[in-house]
Chains A and B, each alone.
Chain A
Amino acid sequence: MADLETFRAEVRQWLGETCPPNCQGKGSVLPDMVWGGRRQTWGHPDAKLWFDRLVEKGYTVPTWPKDYGGAGLSPAENKVLQEEMARIGTRSMLFNFGIAMLAPALMEFATEEQKRLHLTRIARGEIRWCQGYSEPGAGSDLASLRTRAVRDGDDYVVNGQKIWTSDANVSDWIFCLVRTDPAAPKHLGISFLLIDMESPGISTSPIELISGSSPFCQTFFDNVRVPVSQRVHTENRGWDVAKALLLHERTMLADGGRGSAGGSARRSLLQVARETMAAPEGRLPDAATRDELVQWEMDRVCYEATLKRTMDAAKAGKGMGPEGSMFKLYLSEMGQRGADLRQRMAGHEALVWTGDDCPDEERQITREWLYGKASTILGGTSEIQLNIISKRVLGLPGD
């Protein structure tokens, strides 16, 4: 513990010396999140300065090994770091699919050379990654994907189409599942490729959703040449990587989604209820809606308790396994229900799509409700999560 206190003193001193005052506390110039990559912009030069200093210390990914751009901190040291940063109201900001999804898979499956190259770039926020998994004909049945990669000398030549590639139009690289052996059983003919989005033959087009514009894109591959050195893991064993990565994706969706469960809108559900029922205090007059609100609040308490229990178990050495599916399932459904309740409670103003007499917040409520419909589909539908729970957690036989 003495070591930890020494570490805390060091961190505190370093923060005091290096963190610009306008990158601390309320009204700081820091962006909510830094997605990184070639298109990253900075509202204020000091935000960039602070980010660069974090990168130099490896504090964008504090627990990663130093060789891969991290700081090699233990979980306990990282906790101290986070506490000290929270104390002065600053953050490390960097968050993207590279960190949350690709990196854990690379740590497990990539060659040393690939790790040094790609993990370091992720840690430094240089590359923004997107995910090339789903295809128009391969949704829940992901392993039936048909994008082809044919070996030609030291390259693969990739042809096909990916869908739901979030932020593909603003990303630098894509991690992609491709079919390298069409004759093999479907899970055994897939390889995992890392592809530069600037490669000739790649194009993207955005997808409009029921909620309006969205981060989702389609990505097309037309004779795209990809060096064989950019394949992760053995040829035709890409499904192993894919599965590990999906587990991390579900964990990310379960863990990172607190905002969506709580609703990112400014007012709490209770506040919306009070305003729309014209009941500033006391018992809510609409008993049925009141009961729905209670149910939602209670579910959230139980969900948070379950998340905490899992984290406490993780601290005691038990990592999250397939039960991540439970969190993904529950959080997405709870978020969806909250958004649905909010939309119904908001009433007529939330029915307006656009107009000159409609508050922005109400329009936001409608879009969240609509966008929330995607949450029980993306990252594996609720039905797929139920399949995973019944097979991997409960051990029920396949059908």
Chain B
Amino acid sequence: MSLILNEEQVQLQDSAKAFVADNWAVGELRKLRKDTGKGYPEALWRKAAELGWLAIPFPEEYGGLGLGFAELGVVLEELGRGLVVLPIVSSVVLGGGALRLGGTDAQKQTWLPKVCDGSAVLTLACQETSRHDPYAVRSTATPAGDGYVLKGRKVLVPDGHAADAVVVVARTSGAAGDRSGLTLFIVEPATPGVKVHRNLLLDSRVAANIDLQDVRVGADAVVGKVDQGADVLDQVLAEAAAALSADMLGGIQQTFDITLEYLKVREQFGAKIGSFQGLKHRAARWFCEKELSKSIVLQTLRALDDKADNALQLASVCKARLSDTARLSGKEGIQMHGGIGVTDEHDIGLYMKRGRVSEMLFGDAAFHRNRFAELRGY
């Protein structure tokens, strides 16, 4: 396993950089605040699909490219650097990932080719509590006839308002907090009893809260094994944590670059502010954190591709680190910019906002430190 990009990955990176430069400006985010539709630029989604990015981690038999998270991470890092809003993590990693890992052949045949070509958007509805806690599921799935009835409420479902199908985590046995007793179901929002509430998040991305009121699904809606949904869920959430970390890494790097440039041009007391030790030592420490973050993202993505024994542990190290570094970047980026940093006109605040939402998605640093210790047996 090498932690530098190979030739194909460098080409992919160039292509992603060009995509962002040609099609997007960070300021587009401000327009999305008024959007009441999908919440992302649909033309860009189609272009991303044409470039094959949505097909990266799927097997060729379902329309995929048979590549890995190392490649997907390259793309996500560049999109994160530009704060591009597209439901790639939601559709490709969360919803698509759950089917790739646990779906029946019929489910895969139905959905994965559409995920790969962008004609359908999937997502995962897991969270119910204020903060990420994947086993704290109270929503129930009760056997009824030859299927199930789902009842409960899901929060912070990424792109849930735009999804054509949602993989829902519900409890078929046990109590909230139990790892066992979870089951995954694929549910189309048009199903009677599904109510989707659209929330614009503080970073101009959209998530949904979803009410499930006696939603009837067939037995063929079960993804993976009944009561053992956590096996798929753990892996999907680890992959999502790593993929989102790649997006966060891009944002962190751009925040750092913008701020470093500012330190070199802004003058006070007759000197560039970057000459003051009070700032440059902090910039140097921030640089170190950024480099460590980059390394752990690269290593984790590759460990997932290699199905390494410690991949889940690494995913927690990765998301904890990136969450911490994102918070540091948001804080230092704004503080070092001074007054201009707290205006909506300047982009630096947009980076901090995206960082905060990503920090909390799929578990913040505290969550993943605890999880890491649990995985290590202490």
- Residues in chain A within 8 A of chain B (CB atoms): 270, 273-274, 281-284, 290-291, 293-295, 297-299, 301-303, 305-306, 308-309, 312-313, 315-316, 323, 326, 329-330, 383, 385-387, 389-390, 393-399
Contact = CB atoms under 8 A, between A and B. Distances in A.
Nearest to A318: B4
B130 interface: no
Interface stretch (B132-140, B314-322, B344-352): B314-322
List of 9 A-B pairs having minimum Cβ-Cβ separation, nearest first: A305-B295, A390-B280, A309-B3, A389-B284, A306-B295, A396-B274, A302-B292, A386-B284, A397-B275
Nearest to B314: A301
Contacts of B276: 399
Contacts of A315: 2
B285 A386 contact: yes
17 contacts: A270-B376, A283-B373, A297-B376, A301-B314, A302-B292, A302-B295, A302-B321, A306-B291, A308-B299, A309-B298, A383-B281, A386-B281, A389-B288, A394-B260, A398-B275, A399-B276, A399-B277
Most buried by B among A270, A294, A299: A294
Contacts of A389: 284, 287-288
Given A284-B373, A290-B378, 4 more contacts: A274-B378, A295-B369, A302-B295, A394-B283
B24 interface: no
B296 interface: yes
Contacts of B291: 306, 323, 326
Nearest to B274: A396
A282 B373 CA distance: 10
Given A389-B288, A397-B275, A309 B263 contact: no
Nearest to A300: B317
A162 B271 CA distance: 37
A283 B370 CA distance: 10
A140 to B, nearest CB: 13
B372 A326 contact: no
A166 to B, nearest CB: 26
B331 interface: no
A388 to B, nearest CB: 8
A395 B44 CA distance: 36
B186 to A, nearest CB: 35
Main secondary structure of the interface of B (DSSP, over half): helix
A294 B284 contact: no
Nearest to B4: A312
Contacts of B131: none
B295 A396 contact: no
B30 interface: no
Nearest to A383: B281
B47 interface: no
Contacts of A329: 288
B272 interface: yes
A302 B296 contact: yes
Interface in B332-378: 369-370, 372-374, 376-378
Contacts of B197: none
Interface string B248-275: 0000000000001001100000011011
Interface of B: 2-4, 260, 263-264, 271-272, 274-277, 280-281, 283-285, 287-288, 291-296, 298-299, 314, 317, 320-321, 369-370, 372-374, 376-378
A314 to B, nearest CB: 10
B326 to A, nearest CB: 14
A302 B378 contact: no
A398 B264 CA distance: 11
Main secondary structure of the interface of A (DSSP, over half): helix
B378 A270 contact: yes
Contacts of A297: 372, 376
Contacts of A308: 3, 295, 299
Contacts of B3: 305, 308-309, 312
Contact of B378 (A283, A306, A386, A396): A283
B287 A393 contact: yes
A326 B294 CA distance: 14
Given A273-B378, A309-B298, A298 B264 contact: no
A39 B275 CA distance: 49
A298 B369 contact: yes
A396 B287 contact: no
B272 A397 contact: yes
Contacts of A393: 284, 287
A129 B220 CA distance: 75
A251 to B, nearest CB: 16
A393 B283 CA distance: 11
Contacts of B287: 326, 389, 393-394
A274 B377 CA distance: 11
A397 B372 contact: no
Given A297-B372, A303-B292, A316-B4, A390 B317 contact: no
A281 B374 CA distance: 11
Contacts of A397: 264, 271-272, 274-275
Most buried by A among B260, B291, B314: B291
B21 to A, nearest CB: 24
A312 B292 contact: no
A394 B284 contact: yes
Contacts of A383: 281
Given A316-B4, A389-B287, A305 B281 contact: no
Contacts of B281: 383, 386-387, 390
B292 A306 contact: yes
B298 A396 contact: no
Contacts of B295: 302, 305-306, 308-309
A145 to B, nearest CB: 23
Most buried by A among B280, B287, B314, B377: B280
A395 B264 contact: yes
B283 A390 contact: yes
A300 to B, nearest CB: 10
B319 to A, nearest CB: 10
Most buried by B among A283, A309, A323, A398: A309
A323 B314 CA distance: 24
Most buried by B among A308, A386, A396: A396
A320 to B, nearest CB: 12
Contacts of A390: 274, 280-281, 283-284
Contacts of B284: 385-387, 389-390, 393-394
Contacts of A305: 3, 292, 295-296, 298-299
B151 to A, nearest CB: 33
Contacts of B378: 270, 273-274, 282-284, 290, 293
